[in-house]
A and B are shown apart, each in its own frame.
Chain A
Amino acid sequence: MAWFRKEKEPLKAAEGERLRTEGLWIKCDGCRAIIWKKDLDANWSVCPKCGHHFRIDARTRLRLLLDDENYTTHDSDVETSDPLNFVDLKSYRDRIATAQRTTKLKDAVITAEGTIGGRGVFLCSMEYGFIGGSMGGVVGELITRAAERALDQRIPLIIVSASGGARMMEGTVSLMQMAKVSAALARMDTAGVPYISVLTDPTTGGVTASFSMLGDLNIAEPGALIGFAGPRVIEQTIRQKLPAGFQRSEFLLTHGMLDAVVPRTEMKAYIINALKFFLD
């Protein structure tokens, strides 16, 4: 079902390449092999040798899942007003400005309306590169609006999570986003409009403990870190080393906390099929 995989094997062609400029090659975190960056890109950033899933950004995710570029984004101009006036080593405003410059987004999620397998969907794609994909008031509001639109139009909702959790710099305001999004999802659930949650590396904290775990289906990419508490916090609490593979997708699947682990290149087909089951 890997219809994205390139037919040819471009690895061989690269072997004679002398120019070992940094950035053209990447060392795989999974198998330690050196991979030609172009091959990685052509395979949606999944290692062609070991299947390790590298993180991809929110825009790439839209390209992966939606049928084409004919989608509209909603609310892309909404930004935080810094409710706490938060300052630590840097001001929150500065952190926001930097994140906006580097990601070209106003906050950590893109909400898009497009088609998948010809079927209209709302797709929320989180951007881990924007302050760790953390959820503050803007992420909460955008996802809630998407859920409300999906409910109104009775169109399926897909949320792809990539987040360290609630955004500390918005304090309790960010905590309340968990309740807010969950409330909107409760209405979708009651009305029988499908919601599919896709969990990617990493999905932790208040995002896992709200919308990420509330899908009609909760499916994850292989090897993703998924949990409530971060591994460091757990290690400090129990003063023990954590077992290998702890809080990875496969661990959650074994413990009954995920419906399926689906490779990135098969994710779209999986979703199309699931929506067919729900709606056709």
Chain B
Amino acid sequence: MDRDKAREEFEHIEREMETLGKSTASPEAEKRLQELSDQLQHLREELTGPLTPWQRVQVARHPQRPHLLDFIPLLFENFSEIHGDRSFSDDPAMVGGFAWFRGKPVMVIGQQKGHDTQQKLKRNFGMPKPEGYRKALRLMNLAAKFHRPIFTFVDTPGAYPGIDSEERGQAEAIARNLRDMVRLPVPIIVTITGEGGSGGALAIAVGDRILILENSVYSVISPEGCASITWRDATKATTAADALKMTADDLRALGIVDQIVPEPAGGAHVDHKKIAESIGEHLQRALAEVSGLPAQELLDQRYRKFRNMGQFFRTAAS
């Protein structure tokens, strides 16, 4: 069943039960109450039971899922956006600026999708071009210069694949971010809030702590892309989503993310405020863990973190 519909029904039943509860007791009312309570239980299971990986992909891409610009007023005070890469242009798919997090000055950077068609087009569906990644790095360098921690928020189907992207060096822009993020001498806390689409996500996701929302996904390729390559059939995306091990739980088991931020039943889109509170607590904890470290120790830990990530090999018997 569609989770949004289930949730609506859930709320409807809750309201009916509430009304019934206020009415005078009668055997009919009692019977109805029992019926409703069973239905509620059933719906609750449907709403909170484990989602399949493909269902999580759908939740991660949900049009009402909170995006960076929704999170900013809920998580930060006094945000000032900084535009442009000072080289080519300002990429609306990548947003960044300075703000205060629980009283501390921080740099905030992330991809921005849109909720409606107009916004989606303006934000290029959250797919940055090279100038977006270069803006992000410029802002990170600025933060490092003034010893401010960096929070990045990842939500992108991927870096934009287009003629102009290639002309301006999409690969070079991403590569440079990977290299330079690992040696920025300030704390970097990464949160994967929606879709972590391949290199276009990783290009702002090298940090000291990697958080992921419960229903977010992070993968080297979209399930549709994987399906059309391997099965030559994009409708096999469900199977591909399983095979790619792209859910929060899978990623933690693989040692790629540190913490999973739980989402409200039904997904983050159900309650923006609640998920933002939850993210805020996790961010504070993560930042506290790494804030006191001397810069060299911070960098050594970050190096080791990525150096030792994904070590799945063995020495073959010869």
**Which residues of A line the B interface, CB within 8 A?**
77-84, 86-89, 106, 137-138, 140-141, 144, 166-168, 170-180, 182-187, 189-190, 205-206, 208-214, 226-229, 233-234, 237-238, 240, 242-243, 246-247, 255-257
Contacts and interface: CB of A to CB of B under 8 A. Distances in A.
B312 A211 contact: no
Contacts of A211: 175
A247 B251 CA distance: 33
Nearest to A229: B161
A166 B198 contact: yes
Contacts of A140: 310
B140 interface: no
A97 to B, nearest CB: 11
A217 to B, nearest CB: 13
Given A84-B245, A213-B175, A238-B162, 16 more contacts: A79-B316, A80-B313, A83-B312, A89-B231, A166-B221, A172-B256, A175-B220, A179-B206, A182-B179, A183-B178, A183-B179, A183-B306, A206-B198, A209-B174, A209-B203, A211-B175
Contacts of B165: 228-229
B176 A227 contact: no
7 contacts: A83-B254, A144-B307, A176-B310, A213-B175, A228-B170, A247-B166, A255-B167
Nearest to B256: A172
B118 interface: no
Contacts of B170: 209, 227-229
A192 B315 CA distance: 32
B219 interface: yes
Interface of B: 159-163, 165-172, 174-176, 178-180, 182-183, 198-199, 202-203, 206, 218-221, 225-226, 229-231, 240, 243-246, 251, 254, 256, 302-303, 306-307, 309-316, 318
A174 B256 CA distance: 11
Contacts of B309: 173, 176, 179-180
B308 to A, nearest CB: 8
Contacts of B229: 168
A234 B162 contact: yes
Nearest to B218: A172
Nearest to A254: B167
A210 B178 contact: yes
A62 B230 CA distance: 32
A259 B256 CA distance: 34
B178 A79 contact: no
A168 B162 contact: no
B226 A228 contact: no
Contacts of A227: 166, 170-171
B179 A185 contact: yes
A252 to B, nearest CB: 8
A168 B220 contact: yes
B243 A86 contact: yes
A79 B314 CA distance: 6
A177 B306 CA distance: 8
Of residues A84, A106, A246, which shows the largest number of chain B Cβ atoms within 10 Å of its Cβ? A84
Contact of B159 (A141, A179, A226, A228): A228
Contacts of A228: 159, 161, 165-166, 170-171, 174, 199
Contacts of A106: 316
A192 B203 CA distance: 24
A212 B162 contact: no
